[in-house]
């Protein structure tokens, strides 16, 4: 019955109107970085949208080819600065697959905890930015920042840095977690659960929020698959696909958790899938903490300079925004011959045109927010 | 309307909570020991010279090539009636903080534990008006270690909590 | 002919000038206070501290902002229409300022108590829409023109429920003069007899003031400030001043008409300090409510916003007037007003909720993502 309020009649029959070209970005508060889209609008309705990307292109993949495997980690952090642990994870796992390295148990658990925590912090970032896109004055943003700050403090204690961790290494992790790590994670999980509750009661049932998000920017499962979407954006359309379950890496097959899927593939589903996914992440982390046993964190014999035999590998993991894959070719030696990142954001962004055309200008903003792009990952 | 009422109830509940703001310039949050700001050189208090021998290991391992190292013969070496056992010593050392990406690789490759990441607030508050001022020379790199302001934490790759001694374990506990 | 002011008699023109100067001074100071209050209160809603570095507890923050804004260069885009662009802030600011004429702050403290006070107020305040459109048109900016058209559409649409809600209150009080309406409420405030009217007034006031959830003309996250996008310095601060002055005046009119102003619950003859306290407290409550709503709800879309005004608020405000008419014409007891008011307010809430939650077609159903498959445990 939202139609009761909306009137999308075709006015072209009544008046002769002229389309307006509206340039959104690269300096616009809601393009989440330096994304630019040129919209053709008819009054308030979007008729066409052309995205422009590349403002943040730094050639990280090409740079990786000139560096040894350890040096590349720092550049992988910077391709995905909101979920750098997940980006590192794909990269180091690709290197491990090439070099045939065995990762110790403890290192795997640590990696799993940290990448799930990073999924939490990245989704918090999404919730905050998305809440502001829908027009709440700053409240969700600050709520999100409050929780993300606790997570980032924890990452700083573990790895030494707040965003660019460079902590996962081929073969394991760089050094052990602090001795009070488990207690600190438990603390942070409690505060994060509280933060998710705050969001749930602030947004999820608010009538205005529902009116704005439900039925807006829907995409069918077939089209979502055809456009190469992945992650929560794909699952919101009802596609039951999660790499953590379908191709278990790390120890995901040893913990108990659920895959969240939506039904309609609209903005609300994409939002709510992420909220529920965060609760699942908390479940995963608390199981990991119980299983974390003492032990080595790097293989016994790590060479000082890692060299790999010739070969190629494509390794994908489930990053917060979807499938983050690293394709790597080695011709032997200490550096990759080719390193290509399959970016989840770039693929999800392909759906922008299909989602946006025919909706209102205000909806275009929340649709862009709901597919949760990070421009550093789109442009790399 | 019930949803809006719920939202407003939640915001009011938050209104009554204590603010979480850290009053930054007047309050500096305690930094964990393994925090990484920019790299620094360490000073050997016993012999009064830098640990660094200018072996170029860090310079070669740096992914962004932000370092420039020059070495010289040590005038203080034992063969020259000095006190030091270092045959070669660092002559000139520049690190361009504007290029450094704080990846910690220089610390890991150093054979003499001569370089460490700054884990004090001085390492974070480095704003300048001219980019040239971010190119640090040897004296600037050593000054913090000479005055004892740096809390050294030179990570050992693959070090687990079991391998470090009890005393170290207490040290590495984060203060906050 | 002379007029009494502060015990001295003046020529009416001199008197008017003095009173207007007093209003200007009062308004500027209060608006600065309001900006500071909004920043502090919103900060607490965000669990922050808010401004604290300028002066004790950040009290001088607004002064610092004002100094900065006055000192800032006044830029005009090369392609802007000079006259429209430069005059627009005055067209926004002056009508709001003129609205202060009829506000009864406390008993006997006012500029002029016009007999058609409410009519004057709604007539004069809707002129500022012209200023918004001028700002949008003159800036030669596409965000600005979209914002200006949104402002015009919204301002005109919500003017109607606002006027009708005020009118229904005036029907009961039997006067359009604001101090008469306040006088009428010395025993029971009109919010008791007119809960539906008060709600409609509050929603329409939010829309008239372009506050969240009706801030689509400025819409920071969509059209980056709307008509103000090209303004800077003193002209921009005039828009800002107008916005907060409008909030102040709306709060005082609202509290005078519905909450009993300075009169309820102690009556007219109670001491002046208490009256000031009451008026300030009620106005402050109103403003706090506006801030609270701003911190809690998202922004509506243009079609939903227009639909809510024309299809829901307007019929309900007619309903309120009809009920009032029946009660007044047939001399029924006022308690009927309370009962029907509460019932129709409940109906309004029910309709508002129904819009969102009732599924008409599967695509727009409320989507609770379901958990479909559990990961296998080995």
B126 in a domain, yes or no?
Answer: yes
CA–CA–CA angle C272, C273, C274 (5° rounding): 90
- Give pLDDT, residue C362: 33
Show which of residues 228-257 on chain A sit within 8 Å of chain C, judged by CB atoms: 235-236, 240, 244-245, 252-257
- Give pLDDT, residue C377: 45
Instruction: Compute the nearest-CA separation of C353 from chain B (Å).
Output: 6
Q: Which residue among C47, C293, C295 places its CB closest to the CB of B17? A: C47
Neighbours of C370 (CB within 10 A): 12
Q: Quick one: closest CA in A to B120, which residue?
A: A160
Full residue range of the structural domain in which residue B115 is found: 50-146
Instruction: Compute the nearest-CA separation of A19 from chain C (Å).
Output: 12
Query: How far, in Å, are A4, A177, C124 from residue C16 at the CA level?
Result: 50, 75, 18
Q: Identify the CA nearest to C178 among candidates C256, C252, C105.
A: C256
B30 in a domain, yes or no?
Answer: no
Query: Is the bond leading into A26 cis (omega within 30 degrees of zero)?
Result: yes
B89 in a domain, yes or no?
Answer: yes
Element (H, E) at A72: helix A69-79
This prediction has a pTM of 0.86
Over 50: is that where the pLDDT of B52 sits?
A: yes
Structural domain boundaries of chain C? 1-71, 76-352
Residue A51 backbone phi and psi in degrees, to 5: -85, 145
**Residue B82, both tokens:** 């000095």
In tens digits, chain A (380 residues) has pLDDT values of: 445 555 555 555 566 777 888 888 788 888 777 888 888 888 888 888 988 888 888 888 888 888 888 888 888 888 888 888 998 899 999 998 888 888 888 888 999 999 999 999 999 999 988 988 888 888 888 888 888 999 999 998 888 888 888 888 888 888 888 888 888 899 999 999 988 988 888 888 888 888 888 888 888 888 888 888 888 888 888 888 888 888 888 888 888 888 888 888 888 888 888 888 888 899 889 988 888 888 888 887 777 788 888 989 998 898 898 899 899 998 888 888 988 998 888 888 888 888 888 888 888 888 988 888 888 888 88
Instruction: Compute the nearest-CA separation of A6 from chain C (Å).
Output: 5
Q: Domain count of chain B?
A: 1
Q: Identify the CA nearest to A275 among candidates A68, A129, A108, A126.
A: A126
- Report yes or no: B99 at the A interface, CB cutoff 8 Å: no
How would residue C360 be classed by pLDDT, with cut points 50, 70 and 90?
very low
Q: Taking CB atoms and an 8 Å limit, are C142 and A20 in contact across chains?
A: yes
Q: Are the beta carbons of A95 and A328 closer than 8 angstroms?
A: yes
Instruction: Compute the nearest-CA separation of B1 from chain A (Å).
Output: 7
Residues of A whose CB is below 8 A from B101: 74, 78, 164
User: Which domains, ranges and CATH numbers included, belong to chain A?
Assistant: 2-52 (no CATH), 60-379 (1.10.645.10)
Predicted interface score ipTM higher than 0.85: no
pLDDT in tens, A92-139: 999 988 888 888 888 889 999 999 999 999 999 999 889 888 888 888
Expressed in percent and rounded to 5, the helix, strand and coil fractions of chain C are 70, 5, 30
Interface test with chain B among C40, C45, C212, by most B beta carbons within 10 Å = C45
What does the CA dihedral C250, C252, C254, C256 come to, rounded to 10 degrees? -150
Rounded to whole angstroms, how far apart are CA atoms B84 and A131? 62
B4 in a domain, yes or no?
Answer: no
Interface test with chain C among B2, B3, B4, by most C beta carbons within 10 Å = B4
- Is residue A249 helix, strand or coil? coil
Q: What is the DSSP string of chain B?
A: -HHHHHHHHHHHHHHHSPP----GGG--PPPPTT---SEEE-EETTTTEES-----HHHHH-TT--EEEEEEE-TTBGGGT-SB--SEEEEEEEEETTT----SHHHHH-SS--EEE--SGGGT----SSGGGGEE-HHHHHHHHHTT--------TT--TTTS-HHHHHHHS---
Rounded to whole angstroms, how far apart are CA atoms A204 and C356? 13
- Report yes or no: B7 at the C interface, CB cutoff 8 Å: yes
> Which CATH number belongs to the domain containing residue B59 in this structure?
3.30.70.3270
pLDDT in tens, C265-281: 776 777 777 778 888 88
B97 in a domain, yes or no?
Answer: yes
């Amino acid at each position: 019955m939202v139609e009761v309020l909306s009137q999308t009649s075709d006015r072209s029959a009544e008046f002769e109107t002229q389309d307006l070209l509206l340039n959104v970005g690269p300096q616009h508060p809601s393009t989440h970085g330096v994304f630019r889209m040129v919209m053709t609008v008819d009054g308030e309705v979007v008729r066409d949208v052309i995205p422009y990307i590349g403002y943040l292109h730094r050639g990280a993949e090409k740079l990786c080819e000139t560096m040894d495997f350890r040096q590349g980690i720092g550049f992988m952090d910077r391709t995905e600065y909101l979920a750098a642990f997940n980006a590192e994870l794909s990269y180091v796992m690709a290197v491990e697959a090439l070099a045939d390295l065995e990762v110790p148990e403890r290192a795997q658990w640590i990696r799993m905890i940290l990448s799930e925590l990073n999924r939490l912090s990245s989704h918090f970032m999404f919730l905050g930015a998305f809440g502001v896109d829908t027009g709440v004055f700053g409240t969700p943003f600050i709520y999100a920042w409050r929780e993300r700050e606790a997570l980032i403090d924890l990452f700083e204690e573990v790895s030494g840095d707040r965003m660019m961790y460079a902590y996962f290494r081929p073969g394991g992790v760089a050094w052990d977690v602090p001795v009070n790590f488990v207690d600190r994670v438990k603390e942070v999980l409690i505060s994060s659960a509280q933060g998710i509750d705050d969001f749930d009661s602030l947004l999820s049932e608010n009538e205005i929020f529902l009116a704005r998000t439900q039925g807006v920017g829907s995409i069918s499962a077939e089209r979502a698959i055809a456009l190469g979407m992945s992650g929560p954006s794909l699952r919101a359309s009802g596609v039951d696909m999660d790499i953590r379950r379908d191709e278990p890496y790390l120890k995901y097959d040893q913990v108990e958790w659920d895959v969240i899927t939506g039904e309609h593939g609209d903005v609300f589903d994409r939002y709510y899938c992420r909220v529920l996914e965060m609760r699942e992440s908390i479940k995963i982390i608390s199981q990991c903490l119980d299983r974390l046993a003492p032990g080595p964190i790097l293989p016994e014999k790590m060479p000082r300079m890692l060299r790999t035999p010739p070969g190629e590998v494509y390794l994908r993991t489930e990053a917060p925004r979807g499938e983050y894959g690293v394709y790597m070719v080695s011709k032997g030696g200490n550096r990759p011959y080719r390193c290509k990142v399959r970016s989840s954001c770039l693929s999800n962004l392909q759906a922008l045109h299909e989602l946006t055309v025919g909706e209102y200008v205000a909806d275009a903003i929340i649709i862009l927010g709901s597919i949760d792009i990070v421009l550093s990952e789109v442009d790399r | 309307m019930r949803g809006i009422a719920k939202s407003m109830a939640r915001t009011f509940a938050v209104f009554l909570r204590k603010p979480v703001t850290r009053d930054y310039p007047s309050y500096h949050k305690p930094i964990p020991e393994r925090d990484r700001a920019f790299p620094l050189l360490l000073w050997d208090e016993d012999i009064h010279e830098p640990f660094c021998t200018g072996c170029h290991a860090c310079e070669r391992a740096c992914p962004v090539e932000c370092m420039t190292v020059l070495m010289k013969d040590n005038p203080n070496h034992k063969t020259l009636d000095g006190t030091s056992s270092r045959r070669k010593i660092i002559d000139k050392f520049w690190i361009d903080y504007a290029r450094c990406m704080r990846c910690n690789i220089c610390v890991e490759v150093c054979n003499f534990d001569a370089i460490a990441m700054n884990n004090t607030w001085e390492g974070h508050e480095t704003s300048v008006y001219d980019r040239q001022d971010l190119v640090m020379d040897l004296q600037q790199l050593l000054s913090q270690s000479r005055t004892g302001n740096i809390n050294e934490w030179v990570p050992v790759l693959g070090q687990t909590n079991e391998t470090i001694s009890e005393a170290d374990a207490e040290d590495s506990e984060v203060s906050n | 002919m002379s007029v009494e002011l502060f015990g001295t008699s003046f020529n009416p023109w001199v008197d008017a000038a003095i009173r207007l100067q007093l209003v200007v001074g009062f308004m500027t100071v209060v608006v600065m206070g309001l900006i500071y209050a909004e920043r502090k209160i919103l900060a607490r809603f965000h669990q922050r501290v808010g401004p604290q570095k300028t002066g004790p507890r950040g009290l001088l923050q607004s002064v610092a902002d004002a100094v900065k804004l006055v000192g800032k260069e006044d830029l005009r885009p090369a392609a802007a229409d000079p006259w429209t662009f430069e005059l627009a802030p005055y067209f926004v600011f002056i009508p709001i300022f003129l609205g202060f004429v009829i506000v009864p702050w406390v008993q006997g403290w006012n500029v002029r108590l016009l007999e058609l006070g409410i009519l004057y107020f709604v007539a004069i305040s809707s002129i500022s829409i012209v200023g918004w459109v001028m700002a949008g048109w003159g800036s030669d900016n596409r965000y600005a023109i979209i914002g200006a058209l949104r402002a015009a559409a919204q301002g005109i649409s919500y003017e109607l429920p606002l006027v009708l809600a005020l009118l229904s209150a005036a029907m009961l009080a039997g006067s359009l003069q604001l101090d008469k309406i306040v006088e009428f409420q010395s025993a029971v405030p009109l919010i008791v007899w007119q809960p539906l009217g008060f709600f409609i007034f509050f929603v329409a006031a939010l829309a008239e003031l372009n506050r969240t959830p009706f801030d689509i003309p400025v819409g920071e996250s969509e059209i980056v400030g709307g008509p103000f996008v090209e303004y800077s310095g003193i002209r921009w601060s005039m828009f800002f001043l107008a916005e907060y002055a409008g909030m102040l005046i709306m709060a005082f009119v609202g509290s005078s008409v519905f909450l009993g102003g300075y009169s309820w619950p102690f009556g007219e003859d109670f001491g002046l300090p208490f009256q000031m306290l009451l008026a300030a407290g009620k106005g402050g409550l109103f403003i706090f409510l506006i801030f609270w709503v701003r911190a809690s709800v998202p922004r509506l879309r243009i079609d939903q916003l227009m639909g809510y005004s024309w299809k829901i608020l307007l019929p309900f405000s007619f309903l309120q007037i009809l009920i009032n008419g029946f009660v007044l014409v047939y001399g029924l007891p006022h308690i009927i007003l309370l009962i029907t008011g509460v019932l129709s307010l409940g109906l309004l809430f029910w309709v508002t909720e129904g819009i969102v939650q009732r599924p008409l077609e599967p695509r727009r159903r409320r989507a609770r993502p379901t958990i479909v498959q559990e990961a296998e445990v080995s």
